[in-house]
Chain A
């Protein structure tokens, strides 16, 4: 084993305790002085029972949701960057984010109060987001596919166009929205884990399992795709099938998460780059590394979002953007000594 490969494996293994550390810290830190120690005290004390409820019902799902979202966005970003051979590719490129945004805006602004608030509202908005994201990704796929061949550059350009169009339609909806809808919509675009519950996580899990199962089979084909589609085909990979699988994986990872927690930027672009700086371009290392680092960073970002303005809950999208921008500039500046390449 070469020294660079050994270094990459050590980094990957070191990400596991980092994630555990992030989880423990996130469970311990919060607006109320609740600590994990509530679990190893007796059960008679009612304060401790309250503490356990806080940990299990509020912080627990939030930590799990933010971890899953961070992992999903980062892995989707890594897959997209490999597929497009473009270091700036973002999980939203295949239309999932814009589709989710438009459908969510439609639901918030046009849906009646009986649909948006109350028991139904909890599910109606994410359900609309999911339908919107899958529909957008599928439309983009149909548009970019001619005679069984999908053009990734068409997806890239059509994805930008779809984003602009959906932005314009969302703008029209915002224009005719009332104050409450406007506020809901604004918060959705900034992302938040405040609505995390175990039942939502339960609904998210099947999609993420599909995404994970598909992504696991994409690691070596994505390596070959870095040589270009022609060479990947000549090496023996079914390139068109791989493109379809990659789109399915990204849609399943990003569509449902974006629908539940809103649009959260930067994680999908930056995390795979950070991992690649250490592991090199091999997707067998980049994909698990992105999942672990993405989860840890999102948990830390959400913990900051919870505590920097107690008792207010800052939208997590603001935190990721504020933390992500300097990292992004640092990556582009080349100060880390290596070029940013896909």
Chain B
């Protein structure tokens, strides 16, 4: 299964945010989209999910254009964690997670849904929270609860329809997490890819992107600036031209052989 963008242009408010981006995401792979603020990363992800229709260009999932797929069919094939989910209702975590499977897996019994939801809450580190109100959670817990809902959407569809695990699109999934939970969330993403699903995530932390992604896509000023394996993409030149970092920030890790960015000698005046 693959998710492909072809010559995607996005214009909004008289401004061109994306200038003809072409990309292909494969199942079984973790792709990290990185780039400076305002580069068009989230827009790219929203277009890939079908949330936005591109001004021109096409997005195809398994060879079919997204706008030709029925909403319920699409729901079983891709799920997305957005940044701006605000839930102002006193649902329990259990209810919230089960909500993810209402359309993608309609034939699952209530008991099957409950069991899968409990399992997922455990995997995101919220195992004793099933009966808690969503509104009583901290920011990080809230983000992981929604991650469980998004995973539920795809995993329930696998149980229901027996199809391959779909594409998991995550927009800054670790923005509200402490270091241990950042690792937990990205590990869940990798596991999804290892089971045959596709993962595309927007990340700001380049070190995490290098550590967890098989492929890095650099978005800069609305174009695909570079893409490929982390060690090929994250060079010192790129760090300088795209992210405006000083020379010599990108080093190569002795043990892993992967590049990393050195921030610890920065001194503020």
CA distance A252 to B104 in the complex (A): 31
Is the CB–CB distance between B103 and A237 below 8 Å?
A: yes
Spot the interface stretch: B81-89, B228-236, B241-249: B81-89
CA distance A262 to B49 in the complex (A): 47
When A and B form their complex, what is the total count of cross-chain residue pairs whose Cβ atoms lie within 8 Å? 71
Is the CB–CB distance between A280 and B90 below 8 Å?
A: yes
For the complex of A and B, 9 pairs with smallest distance between CB atoms = A236-B75, A236-B103, A281-B89, A226-B89, A236-B72, A236-B71, A238-B71, A234-B80, A341-B88
Is the CB–CB distance between B102 and A224 below 8 Å?
A: yes
Is the CB–CB distance between B102 and A227 below 8 Å?
A: no
A313 within 8 A of B: no
Is the CB–CB distance between A230 and B86 below 8 Å?
A: no
Most buried by B among A2, A224, A234: A234
* Contact status of A227 and B90, CB under 8 A, knowing A234-B75, A235-B153: no
Q: Enumerate chain A residues within 8 angstroms of B71, measured Cβ to Cβ.
A: 233, 236-238
Spot the interface stretch: B31-39, B92-100, B182-190: B92-100
Taking the nearest CB of chain B, how far is it from the CB of A87, in angstroms? 9
A282 within 8 A of B: yes
Taking the nearest CB of chain B, how far is it from the CB of A11, in angstroms? 15
* Contact status of A282 and B88, CB under 8 A, knowing A235-B153, A236-B71, A238-B71: no
Q: Enumerate chain B residues within 8 angstroms of A226, measured Cβ to Cβ.
A: 87-89, 91
A49 within 8 A of B: no
Is the CB–CB distance between A223 and B80 below 8 Å?
A: no
Q: Which residues in chain A, 13-58, are within 8 Å of chain B measured between CB atoms?
A: none
B218 within 8 A of A: no
Q: Which residues in chain B, 30-77, are within 8 Å of chain A measured between CB atoms?
A: 49-51, 71-72, 74-76
B79 within 8 A of A: yes
A228 within 8 A of B: yes
Q: Enumerate chain B residues within 8 angstroms of A230, measured Cβ to Cβ.
A: 51, 82, 84-85
A154 within 8 A of B: no
CA distance A233 to B71 in the complex (A): 8
User: Which among A220, A231, A341 is the interface contact of B85 at CB below 8 angstroms?
Assistant: A231
Is the CB–CB distance between A236 and B104 below 8 Å?
A: yes
Q: Enumerate chain A residues within 8 angstroms of B135, measured Cβ to Cβ.
A: 341
Chain A interface, DSSP helix/strand/loop, else mixed: loop
Interface size class of A (residues with CB under 8 A): 20 to 34
B254 within 8 A of A: no
Is the CB–CB distance between B95 and A282 below 8 Å?
A: yes
Is the CB–CB distance between A234 and B91 below 8 Å?
A: no
B131 within 8 A of A: yes
Taking the nearest CB of chain A, how far is it from the CB of B180, in angstroms? 27
Interface size class of B (residues with CB under 8 A): 20 to 34
Is the CB–CB distance between A4 and B103 below 8 Å?
A: no
Is the CB–CB distance between B84 and A228 below 8 Å?
A: yes
10 additional A-B pairs beyond A223-B99, A235-B153, A341-B89, beta carbons within 8 Å, are A4-B131, A224-B102, A227-B99, A235-B75, A236-B103, A236-B104, A236-B153, A280-B91, A282-B91, A341-B88
Chain A residue with Cβ nearest B104: A236
A342 within 8 A of B: yes
Q: Enumerate chain B residues within 8 angstroms of A2, measured Cβ to Cβ.
A: 92, 94, 131
CA distance A124 to B103 in the complex (A): 45
CA distance A4 to B103 in the complex (A): 25
Is the CB–CB distance between B51 and A235 below 8 Å?
A: no
CA distance A282 to B92 in the complex (A): 10
CA distance A326 to B135 in the complex (A): 27
Chain B residue with Cβ nearest A239: B71
User: Which among A220, A227, A234 is the interface contact of B49 at CB below 8 angstroms?
Assistant: A234
Chain B residue with Cβ nearest A341: B88
Chain A residue with Cβ nearest B53: A147
Taking the nearest CB of chain B, how far is it from the CB of A74, in angstroms? 18
* Contact status of A235 and B102, CB under 8 A, knowing A227-B85, A230-B84, A341-B135: yes
User: Which among A228, A235, A281, A341 is the interface contact of B103 at CB below 8 angstroms?
Assistant: A235
Chain A residue with Cβ nearest B150: A234
Q: Enumerate chain A residues within 8 angstroms of B94, measured Cβ to Cβ.
A: 2
Is the CB–CB distance between A227 and B87 below 8 Å?
A: yes
CA distance A230 to B75 in the complex (A): 13
For this complex, 25 residue pairs linking A to B, each with C-beta atoms less than 8 Å apart, are A2-B131, A4-B131, A220-B102, A226-B87, A227-B85, A233-B50, A233-B71, A234-B51, A234-B80, A235-B75, A235-B99, A235-B153, A236-B71, A236-B75, A236-B76, A236-B103, A236-B104, A236-B153, A280-B91, A281-B91, A282-B91, A282-B95, A338-B90, A341-B135, A342-B89
A200 within 8 A of B: no
Q: Enumerate chain A residues within 8 angstroms of B87, measured Cβ to Cβ.
A: 226-227
User: Which among A233, A235, A281 is the interface contact of B90 at CB below 8 angstroms?
Assistant: A281
CA distance A309 to B105 in the complex (A): 58
Taking the nearest CB of chain A, how far is it from the CB of B129, in angstroms? 13
What are the interface flags for A272-292 relative to B under an 8 Å C-beta threshold, 1 for contact and 0 otherwise? 000000001110000000000
Most buried by B among A220, A224, A235, A342: A235
Taking the nearest CB of chain B, how far is it from the CB of A228, in angstroms? 6
CA distance A341 to B75 in the complex (A): 28
* Contact status of A234 and B82, CB under 8 A, knowing A223-B99, A341-B135: yes
What are the interface flags for A246-261 relative to B under an 8 Å C-beta threshold, 1 for contact and 0 otherwise? 0000000000000000
CA distance A226 to B74 in the complex (A): 21
